[in-house]
Amino acid sequence: DVADEALIMREETFGPVAAVTSFDDEDEVIARANATEYGLVAYVVTENGARQQRMGRALDCGMVAINRVKITGAPIPFGGVKQSGIGREGSRHGLEAFTDLKYLCLDVA
């Protein structure tokens, strides 16, 4: 049961590690997860379909994987929110994030 004050709970740790902690209810989980200054990805394990939908919408992060590891690839946007990113890369969303749209109207006649 890792304390919220532990370094692993406060920083964006990369590596084969997972912090496991207990909770009393869904609202507490969401509040604690969203309290961090990072928001790259969250993983949720639950068989409850309504909870899957609520958690997916409520977690303040760029990606949510439910009952599996996240899938990556060219058509899937990758990126986080808060201190975990500056937009998306990959997919048309990534292209749009790093380009400026310009309308050009000209008469070539």
**Half-sphere exposure of residue 65: CA atoms within 13 angstroms, side-chain side:** 11
**What is the tens place of the pLDDT at every residue in 22-61?**
899 999 999 999 999 999 999 999 999 999 999 999 999 9
CA distance 83 to 39: 7
What's the rounded Cα separation, in Å, for the pair 65 and 7?
A: 23
**Segment 71-103, tens digit of pLDDT:** 888 888 888 999 998 788 888 888 888 888 889
CATH hierarchy code of domain 7-97? 3.40.309.10
* 15 CA to centre of own chain: 17
Domain ranges within the chain, ordered by starting residue:
7-97
pLDDT in tens, 7-20: 999 888 888 888 88
d(CA 76, CA 54): 21
Q: Is the pLDDT of residue 64 over 90?
A: yes
Question: pTM score, two decimals?
Answer: 0.79
DSSP string, 63-101: EEEESSPPP--TTS-B--EETT-SS-BSHHHHHHHT---
97 token code pair: 């994030």
